[in-house]
Structure 1
Amino acid sequence: MDIPMGEIAAFAVGLAASGVVAGLLAGLFGIGGGAIFVPVFYPVLGLLGVDEAVRMHVAVGSSLAIIVPTSLRSFRAHYERGAVDIALLRSFVVAVPAGVVLASLVAAHVSSGGLRAIFAGIATLVALRLVFGREHWRLGDTIPGNPVRSLVGAAIGFLSALMGVGGGVMNNTFMTLFGRPIHQAVATSSGVGVLISIPGLIGYVWAGWGAPGLPVASTGYVNWIAVILMIPITLLVAPFGVRIAHALDKRTLEKAFGVFMLMVAARFVWTLL
């Protein structure tokens, strides 16, 4: 790839900056940072000449790989504070990975345009919830048991794996709609990110195994250059996000993140036109 060193350096700086933001968001919202990584990776991979047919898949798969250590570190920090609902997390141990496996099967057959459309659609719904949602909204005072809980867990795993995100916003919404404190929801979401990212990494390696047009240093739809570059940054800053999460009213930040997600969704829609 004949790209000037100045442009490559600019890409690296952009990825590093996104890693700082994503790591903070991982701890702050329990989202794993994928909502930042995917929209950054997609255009960068395009500028580096990666085939359009696999570009979005690699962006999503690499994002899930990066989320593995980020979510583990975030979960540990929240767990040490005693904020995680371990009982709820255990009830998701089968359902969430099952949804991720199903998403991997879909990813193996869906086109790049289809994956972008899915990302844009889910991102729009998430953004609307962040911008217009209210903490006092309730569907009940107790989180429902099975089969509803398992179905919700599977849906969180499925939709998150298709987007390359850790499922934080979706799980936060689920828990707070049934009366759980936002800080407990955020802490538990970091554990949900672990349940999504590990099987998601394996699934996207399998889904893209032997696919033509993959960039150098890729195993399936996971590019290890991007992963190795981003992991140290996200690991370093994620605990700072956790500290902020336990000390800050996040409503303004939620609105800002919702607006960002709307902009990301609009950009992906534009690429489909």
Structure 2
Amino acid sequence: MSDPTPVFDDLREESRELDLLVAELTEQEWARATPAPRWSIAHQIAHLHWTDRAALLAMSDEAAFRKFAEQALTSPDSFVDDGADEGARLDPAELLTRWRDGRQSLDRALREAAARHTRFPWFGPPMSAASMATGRLMETWAHGQDVADALGVVRTPTDRLRHVVHIGVRARNFAFAVRGLPAPEEEFRVEVRAPWGELWVHGPKEAPQRVTGPAVDFCLLVTQRAHRADLALTAEGPDADRWLDIAQAFAGLPGPGREPKAATPEEPGR
């Protein structure tokens, strides 16, 4: 990315939109359960704050971050949950303030780092400032979806989804590798359509294996916020079809994903 400023601006706006969802919640609403097992709305915001702090640590103190990452690898199943639990125990007003302060600090650090063209350690491959911001935006959108679902809010899709699509496509081989599967040798063609009609494309036009469908559905799939059976995505080719079963845009172990919605007589399951 020649000029990473747009993704920094989009991350800031994605965070601001989620902030508007939670800013006026009561203490009881902060404790409301979300679709993620055991996680309340407070857990979702605490996790975003926890990861922002990890990003800041990676950008400011490589040795300290590597020690932090080693601790995470010793207990990968509980490390993230423990961080969310710790933040969720805070008073909601304090948690909100810490999340806002951390976002602002990360925003400044990303912009300063981009000017130096620096790369930083992370839980996967080293990241540029632009890649770090893209990952943070993807997580903010995904956990924001959990918050919106808990509150019964339908969010209006924005052009910022293109970043989630991008990281979902780029993470294809990781999704196979983290499950011990060989990555497909050939690229796929991915064609997803934004709600306002624009077509976002990745991969060679002549690729025999492809994925098509709504951009929102693709984002829900790769962040594991909806089951494939509930999404209007189509795969052509056996490897592309397999990918839609295991896709994940986030680092770490494979997640359990979401269960398909219960079928009704009026709307049979697919």
Structure 2 length normalisation: TM-score?
Answer: 0.32
Larger radius of gyration: 2
Q: Considering Cα pairs closer than 8 Å and 6+ residues apart, tell me whether 1 or 2 has the greater RCO.
A: 1
In terms of fraction of residues, the more helix-rich structure is 1
Structure 1 length normalisation: TM-score?
Answer: 0.31
